[in-house]
């Protein structure tokens, strides 16, 4: 970076989505354009990114850009600002919460800095493209200049706290902080020019920790998390607090727990005609479900075969005659066959299943996962009502543990991360999907049935009850996550643990123990 170490961050929070159906739709469309703009910046850089290229990736009309952004420049800057806010929310805020324990804070900072959701080749290349092009550098400085200073100040503060607590008064906090920032920057530069499949994130984390370990001997052991010196939790016992912030553990959870599990994608009534599609997240694997000719359903990996951007970014919609990647000139039939363009081949299929009219998907070749007992027959007469997303500042496991701690007769777990609440008046499915260590997306599927108008008061009362319960679950999860980061360790659970909760924790513990053996 021309002799300077630059860090591209913010401490401000991402604004919550506006309330109301129309506002949520506009927010999703605006975010869809920002996601497509980030992909276009990754592929073309700021100077060669055009409105036409962005809307092609977003599969929207060019005119809609003017509704959200005054100009192309405004859209580019909104994308940079979004990444800056995302970093502040997901990396800096958790580290700030741990500043009283600087070793833990620095460990977490390194882990989150190099997490796949933050340091993806797609996002990293956007930072460098803005900084590298002279025409964009001033815009970068306007948005990120003060925020870069905030990040550097946080690292220096943590270094000074560690120096004070260790008694190593001969060390210089400024110099050590600059060194760590430089190490992280070099690791980011390597990520920018690799594909995700070739990135060894645990090795990158350990390289950064090796720098810290060379200055503070006895701290920052390479194994992360350091569970070998901690007591092994008993079966069904509360997980160690580090389990809710570990990027290494989350990678194992995604691979061994979430990818093998059937995830709800939607309802068949949303896929009535050829070309209708649904998209979803299988806990790290993006999925695209399409209705093809002859009433057939197909599930594919929602990823371009040329570059790892999503083929569609909306949750639901209608494709015009084919699946297209306009950026690379690729065209696929609704059954995933390549008919135009040059790539490694057809779209990658994923497994698809239906229960009644519900559509579920999972990664192909994944081993069997525990699913629980869901009363599928009781959901047969329900139709789709709405789907909404809530970003939760808590680990996905915190949400699941809450559901399992006080099981209700009308709630059923589809393991490991979905709960079905089925009543006479309606049904709701909540799906907790990890976004990053300590952050999750709660997707809410609402289902309803047509009944006499006399039934409406009961349905409305149930809806208010469910709305209040979901809000309380989000607030409780975020409060619990904050407590895990800031309060002292407590003794083992004082009372009995529900069988389903113990079973869930017992599925996590082998993954946690496996990390200590590396």
What residue ranges do the domains of the chain occupy?
A: 21-222, 240-261+370-518, 262-365
Q: Where are the alpha helices (DSSP H) in 49-119?
A: 51-58, 63-68, 72-87, 93-97, 102-113
Q: Which two tokens mark 318?
A: 């209608």
pLDDT for residue 135 is more than 60: no
Q: What is the pLDDT of residues 261-319, one digit of tens each?
A: 999 999 999 999 999 999 999 887 889 999 998 889 999 999 888 877 889 989 999 99
Q: What is the average pLDDT score of the chain?
A: 80
Considering only residues 1 and 499, tell me which one the structure prediction assigns the higher pLDDT.
Answer: 499
Q: What is the pLDDT of residues 62-93, one digit of tens each?
A: 778 888 888 888 888 888 888 888 888 888 88
CB 176 within 8 A of CB 158: no
> What contacts 200, CB < 8 A, 6 or more positions away?
none
Strand partners, 43: none
Of 50, 131, 105, nearest to 242 by C-alpha is 105
Cα torsion 437, 439, 442, 443: sign: negative
The CATH superfamily of 262-365 is: Rieske [2Fe-2S] iron-sulphur domain (2.102.10.10)
User: Is the pTM higher than 0.85?
Assistant: no
User: Residue 498 in 3-state DSSP?
Assistant: coil
Backbone angles phi, psi at 428, to 5 degrees: -135, 140
Strand partners, 387: 445
Of 403, 397, 392, nearest to 429 by C-alpha is 403
CB 468 within 8 A of CB 413: no
Backbone angles phi, psi at 134, to 5 degrees: -60, -35
Among 135-144, 293-302, 330-339, 441-450, which is the least confidently predicted range? 135-144
Whole-number pLDDT of residue 486: 67
Backbone angles phi, psi at 86, to 5 degrees: -60, -45
Whole-number pLDDT of residue 18: 39
Q: Cα dist. 199→121, 184, 253, 495 in Å?
A: 9, 14, 18, 43
The class that CATH gives domain 21-222 is mainly alpha
| Mean local confidence (pLDDT), 133-159 | 74
Whole-number pLDDT of residue 271: 94
Whole-number pLDDT of residue 420: 92
pLDDT for residue 9 is more than 50: no
Strand partners, 278: 289, 316
CB 378 within 8 A of CB 357: no
The CATH code that applies to domain 240-261+370-518 is 3.90.380.10
Reported confidence tier of residue 495, pLDDT bands at 50, 70, 90: low
Q: Which two tokens mark 428?
A: 């709701």
pLDDT for residue 232 is more than 50: no
Instruction: Check for a shared fold between 240-261+370-518 and 262-365.
Output: no
Whole-number pLDDT of residue 95: 87
Q: What is the pLDDT of residues 339-386, one digit of tens each?
A: 998 877 889 899 999 988 999 999 866 555 555 667 788 888 889 999
């Amino acid at each position: 970076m021309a002799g300077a170490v630059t860090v591209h961050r913010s401490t401000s929070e991402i604004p919550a989505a506006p309330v109301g159906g129309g506002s949520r739709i506009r927010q999703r469309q605006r975010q869809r354009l920002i996601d497509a703009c980030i992909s276009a910046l990754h592929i073309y850089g700021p100077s060669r990114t055009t409105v036409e290229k962005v809307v092609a990736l977003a599969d929207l009309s060019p005119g809609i850009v003017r509704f959200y952004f005054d100009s192309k420049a405004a859209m580019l800057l909104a994308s940079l600002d979004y990444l800056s806010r995302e970093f502040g929310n997901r990396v800096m805020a958790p580290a700030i919460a741990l500043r009283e324990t600087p070793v833990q804070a620095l460990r977490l900072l390194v882990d989150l800095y190099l997490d796949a959701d933050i340091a993806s080749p797609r996002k990293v290349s956007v930072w460098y493209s803005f900084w590298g092009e002279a025409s964009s550098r001033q815009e970068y400085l306007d948005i990120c200049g003060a925020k870069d200073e905030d990040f550097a100040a946080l690292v220096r503060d943590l270094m000074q706290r560690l120096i004070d607590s260790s008694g190593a008064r001969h060390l210089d906090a400024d110099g050590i902080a600059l060194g760590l920032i430089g190490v992280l920057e070099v690791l980011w530069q390597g990520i920018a020019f690799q594909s995700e499949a070739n990135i060894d994130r645990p090795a990158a984390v350990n390289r950064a920790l090796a720098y810290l370990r060379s200055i503070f001997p006895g701290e920052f052991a390479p194994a992360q998390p350091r569970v070998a010196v901690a007591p092994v939790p008993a079966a069904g016992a509360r997980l160690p607090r580090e389990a809710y912030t570990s990027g290494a553990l989350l990678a194992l959870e995604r691979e061994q727990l979430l990818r093998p599990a059937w995830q709800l994608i939607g309802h068949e009534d949303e896929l009535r005609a050829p070309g209708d599609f649904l998209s979803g997240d299988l806990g790290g694997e993006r999925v695209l479900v399409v209705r093809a000719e002859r009433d057939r359903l197909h599930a594919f990996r929602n990823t371009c075969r040329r570059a790892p951007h999503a083929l569609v970014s909306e949750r639901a919609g209608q494709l015009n005659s084919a699946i297209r990647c306009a950026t690379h000139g690729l065209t696929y039939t609704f059954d995933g066959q390549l008919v135009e363009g040059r790539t490694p081949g057809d779209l990658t299929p994923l497994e698809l299943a239906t229960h009644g009219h519900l559509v579920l998907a999972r990664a192909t070749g994944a081993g069997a996962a525990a699913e629980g007992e869901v009363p599928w027959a009781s959901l047969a007469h329900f139709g789709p009502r709405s789907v909404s997303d809530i970003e939760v500042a808590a680990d996905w496991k915190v949400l699941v543990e809450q559901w399992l701690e006080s099981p209700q007769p009308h709630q059923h777990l589809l393991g490991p991360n979905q709960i079905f609440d089925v009543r006479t008046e309606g049904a709701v499915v909540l799906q907790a999907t990890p976004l990053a260590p300590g952050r999750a997306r709660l997707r809410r599927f609402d289902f309803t049935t047509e009944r006499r108008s006399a039934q409406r008061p009961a349905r409305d009362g149930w809806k208010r009850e469910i709305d209040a319960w979901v809000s309380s679950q989000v607030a409780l999860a975020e409060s619990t996550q904050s407590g895990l980061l800031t309060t002292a360790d407590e003794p083992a659970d004082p009372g009995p643990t529900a069988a389903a909760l113990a079973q869930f924790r017992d599925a996590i513990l082998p993954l946690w123990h496996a990390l200590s053996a590396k």
